[in-house]
């Protein structure tokens, strides 16, 4: 999807008159460089509530740019879908910055490559976040049963939190 049409979409999304509330870019062939373009657009958009970037290859050197934009106080994204974006442990630390978001309530990290090492950052994100109500970690098959149980039990420390994991 990258190219002139993606550039046009990012220009429109960053316009002060843009009122797009839901953006579904799942399975569009986005690569890591898209994260920088999305980050720039996110800095200007105050209406986007749902962002689905699932089934794209977003991890790389620009993933942190997107996380910075999504954790900004001006970001209004409430539901963020990152299912199967090839997320590995070396990029999971960037997710902790999402705990700064006061609006993010739902986060989907299903079907990625998170291991027990990366799970400690997921735990930190959950414990630091004041707004997160649901996190989905289905099909992260490299997580041990012990770590899955530990993540599930975080709901005992955060009333109203749902941790979906198998």
Which of 124, 126, 142 is CA-nearest to residue 134? 126
Whether residue 109 is contained in a domain is answered as: yes
Residue with the two structure tokens 């049409």: 5
Domain encompassing residue 54:
19-164
pLDDT digits (tens, 9 = 90+) for 103-137: 999 999 999 999 999 999 999 999 999 999 999 99
pLDDT digits (tens, 9 = 90+) for 14-48: 998 999 999 999 999 999 999 999 999 988 888 99
Our count of domains for the chain comes to 1
**CATH assignment at residue 59:** 3.80.10.10
**d(Cα 135, Cα 121) in Å, to the nearest integer?**
13
**d(Cα 91, Cα 62) in Å, to the nearest integer?**
10
pTM as predicted? 0.95
């Amino acid at each position: 999807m990258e190219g002139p049409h993606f550039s046009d979409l990012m220009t429109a999304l960053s316009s002060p008159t843009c009122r797009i509330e839901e953006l579904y870019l799942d399975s569009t062939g986005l690569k890591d460089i898209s994260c920088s373009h999305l980050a720039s657009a996110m800095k200007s958009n105050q209406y986007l509530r749902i962002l689905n970037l699932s089934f794209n290859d977003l991890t790389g050197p620009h993933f942190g740019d997107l996380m910075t934009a999504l954790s900004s106080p001006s970001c209004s994204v409430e539901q963020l879908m990152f299912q199967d974006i090839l997320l590995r442990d070396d990029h999971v630390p960037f997710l902790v910055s999402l705990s700064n978001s006061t609006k993010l309530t739902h986060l989907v990290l299903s079907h990625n490559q998170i291991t027990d090492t990366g799970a400690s950052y997921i735990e930190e994100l959950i414990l630091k976040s004041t707004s997160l109500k649901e996190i989905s970690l289905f099909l992260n098959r490299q997580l041990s049963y012990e770590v899955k149980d530990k993540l599930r039990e975080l709901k005992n420390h955060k009333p109203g939190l749902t941790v979906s994991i198998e």
